[in-house]
Amino acid sequence: MLFPQLGPEYYDEKHKGMLSRMEAAYAESITINQSYWAEADTDTRFEAGDQTLWNDLYGNLPSNRRRSFNFNRIRRVVQMISGHQRRNRKSTIVTPVENGDAETADQFTKILLWIHNQEGVLETISESFHGSLVTGMNLLHVWMDYRGDPISGNIRVDNCHYNAFLIDPYFRKPDLSDCNYIWKRSFLTKRECISLMPAHVEEIMSLYGHDNRDGKFQYMPESYNYGMKNLLTYDEYYYRDYRTQKVLVDSNTGEVMEWRSTDEDRMREFLQLYPEVTVIEQEIPSVRLAIVMCSLIMNLKCRIGRGGFKVLYVVYAMLSTCITVGALLSLIFLSLR
Q: Say which range, 21-35, 267-281, 296-310, 317-331, has the weakest mean pLDDT.
A: 317-331
pLDDT of residue 336: 32
Tell me the mean pLDDT in the region 312-329.
Answer: 39
Weakest-pLDDT range from 21-30, 62-71, 255-264: 62-71
Q: What pLDDT is attached to residue 72?
A: 84
Specify the range with the lowest mean pLDDT, choosing from 25-34, 44-53, 211-220. 211-220
Residue range 236-240: average pLDDT?
90
Q: Is 33 or 321 the better-scoring residue by pLDDT? A: 33
Mean pLDDT value across residues 196-202 = 87
**pLDDT above 70: percentage of residues in the chain:** 78
Give 29's pLDDT tier (boundaries 50, 70, 90). very high
- Dist CA 197 CA 206 (whole Å): 14
Q: What phi and psi, each to the nearest 5 degrees, are found at residue 319?
A: -95, 160
150 and 102 Cβ atoms separated by less than 8 Å? no
Are the C-beta atoms of residues 121 and 334 closer than 8 Å to each other? yes
Kindly report the average pLDDT of the chain as a whole number: 79
Q: What is the pLDDT of residue 82?
A: 92
pLDDT at 310 over 70: no
Nearby residues of 26 by Cβ (< 8 Å), 6 or more positions away: 166, 183, 216
User: Please, which pLDDT band fits residue 304 given cuts at 50, 70 and 90?
Assistant: low
End-to-end, the C-alpha distance of the chain in Å comes to 40
Instruction: Examine the pLDDT at 212 and tell me if it is beyond 70.
Output: no
% pLDDT > 90, the chain: 21
Rounded Cα distance between 119 and 128, Å, is: 15
Of 190 and 53, more confident: 190
Distance of CA 136 to the CA centre of its chain: 16
267-280 average pLDDT score: 86
Residue 214: predicted pLDDT: 77
Q: Is residue 99 over pLDDT 80?
A: no
Eight-class DSSP state of 10: G
pLDDT for 117-162, tens place per residue? 988 889 999 999 999 999 989 998 888 888 888 888 888 889 999 9
Confidence grade of residue 27 (pLDDT, cut at 50, 70, 90) = very high
Amino acid at 119: E
Q: What's the pLDDT score for residue 166?
A: 94
Tell me the DSSP string of 53-100: HHHHHH-S--GGG--S-----SHHHHHHHHHHHHHT---------SS-
